[in-house]
Amino acid sequence: MIPSYSPEGSPEFNGWMHETMLRIGTEVQRVLGDNLVALILGGGYGRGEGGMIVKDGRQMPYNDIDFTLVVNSKSKVPWDGLNAISSSFASELTIHVDFSRPLTICDIENWPCWLMWYDLLNGHIVINGPSDILTKHAPMSLRNPLPAIEGTRLLLNRGAGLLWALRVVREIENSPDADFVRRNYYKCALALGDSLLIAYKRFTTAYRGRDILLEKLEQDEPRVAAFGLDSLYKQALKFKFRPDQIPSGDMKEDDIKVIAKQWGVVFLNVESVRTGRVWSSLDEYAAWPGIREKDQHTIRLLPRNVARNLQLRRLSLQYPREALYRELPALLGLMGKYDTFWPRKTESFLRVWDRFN
């Protein structure tokens, strides 16, 4: 049976996608040989919820293709060969084809409770290898609701995307692609609802039906209903599946500022639910010295944290991502005016975020 890669795609589109994934699998097997344990398609297409657009009368994929590699030996992965496969199929599909850092079975068995592993476990297609490789080896803890910190991490990542979009609309740097700003706007819109679903233990991997879960949460929690996210979230879901059916007008700086303000109030609420604390403002939150990601601050990891900070030419026992939670609200303009060093500070922020994300 041919799996569905996009709910908006025709049977012909999904059949073509499946045939293309199998061809990629054949090429990866050829390059990796006996070192390949499994090739797994994750992301939107692995969940059967990938985006689709009509381009020159033909249905085409919109999102990146995200593959997870499972291997016997991570030191024996021929990246030149994989990069050649990525380049070849990216030209054919007109989107990026990405291979993850390789994993071993042992890595899967020790996955932490992170959103990325939760989503991959609950939404994937095995292209090569045993069909049960993830369900057989992933830890039982990933069957439980996600910890609330994953909502906070999601907001950090999508807030960083907004910051990058602001740099683009302010012409500090060029756009990586024509749809970059609009895509990051709607990814943030989805994250506003998804982070709340995570914080209140209502989250599921499938996108279809999440709007219903958010509506139910709004009925149960007046604080969530007060954010007024319903129509924005549904619009973001439409963009997720059929971005070409959403008006494509250029988004301005004011559009980014409006959703950044929504990001700020949702962020405070998610952190309040997670910690049991209440902050009167983002300024007060940024001044809070507490540790956000406690799993990155065990005694065993402190030497690593010191080493990572020394690489950044600073002294700290905290994992570098900790500072980003305190810096981002100000850089998004939610704690006063932008200062004259904003271009340099945002460049530095995004560099650290990209490295430690």
What pLDDT, in 10s, does the model give residues 169-223?
A: 999 999 998 889 999 999 999 999 999 999 999 999 999 999 999 999 999 999 9
Cβ-proximal residues to 150 (8 Å cutoff; 6+ apart), any chain: 113, 114, 115, 118, 198
Whether residue 36 is predicted with pLDDT greater than 80 in this model: the reply is yes
Whether residue 338 is predicted with pLDDT greater than 70 in this model: the reply is no
Query: Band of the pLDDT at 127, cuts 50, 70, 90?
Result: very high
Q: What is the mean pLDDT of residues 23-39?
A: 97
Q: Is residue 119 part of a domain?
A: yes
pLDDT score of 56: 87
Q: Is residue 128 part of a domain?
A: yes
> What span, in angstroms and rounded, lies between the C-alpha atoms of 332 and 256?
9
Residues 110 and 174 in one domain: no
DSSP-derived 3-state class of residue 59: strand
The per-residue DSSP string of 102-123 comes to PB-HHHHHT--S-HHHHHHHHS
With a pLDDT cut of 90, the percent of the chain lying above it is 89
Q: Where are the alpha helices (DSSP H) in 145-229?
A: 149-169, 180-199, 210-220, 222-225
For residue 199, CA distances in Å to 142, 159, 294, 297 come to 16, 17, 16, 21
Last residue of a domain, one of 80, 112, 143: 143
The pLDDT tens digits for 290-304 are 999 999 999 999 999
- Cβ count within 10 A of residue 190: 20
Asked if 347 and 300 touch (Cβ cutoff 8 Å), the reply is no
Residues 129 and 182 in one domain: no
Whether residue 120 is predicted with pLDDT greater than 90 in this model: the reply is yes
For residue 248, CA distances in Å to 87, 184, 245, 350 come to 28, 13, 8, 26
Last residue of a domain, one of 92, 114, 143: 143
End-to-end CA distance of the chain: 37
Question: What is the residue whose two structure tokens read 């990246």?
Answer: 79
Residues 80 and 206 in one domain: no
Last residue of a domain, one of 96, 111, 143: 143
> What span, in angstroms and rounded, lies between the C-alpha atoms of 166 and 169?
5
pTM of the complete model: 0.92
| Token reading at 87 | 């380049």
Whether residue 307 is predicted with pLDDT greater than 90 in this model: the reply is yes
What is the average pLDDT score of the chain? Answer: 94
Residues 157 and 277 in one domain: yes
Residues 133 and 164 in one domain: no
Q: Which burial class, exposed, middle or buried, applies to 80 when counting CB atoms under 10 A from its CB (0-12, 13-18, 19+)?
A: exposed
- Across 52-66, 96-110, 143-157, 187-201, least confident range: 52-66
Q: What is the mean pLDDT of residues 61-69?
A: 93
> For the chain, what is the domain count?
2
Q: Which of 72, 282, 253 is nearest to 162 (CA)?
A: 253
Whether residue 149 is predicted with pLDDT greater than 90 in this model: the reply is yes
Q: What is the mean pLDDT of residues 241-256?
A: 87
Q: Is residue 5 part of a domain?
A: no
Residues 99 and 171 in one domain: no
Q: Is residue 1 part of a domain?
A: no
Q: Is residue 235 part of a domain?
A: yes
Q: What is the mean pLDDT of residues 138-149?
A: 95
341-348 contacts at long range (C-beta below 8 A, 24 or more positions apart): 343/167, 343/172, 346/163, 346/166, 346/167, 346/172, 347/167
CATH for 94: 3.30.460.10
Residues 95 and 155 in one domain: no
Whether residue 1 is predicted with pLDDT greater than 90 in this model: the reply is no
Q: Which domain holds residue 44?
A: 11-143
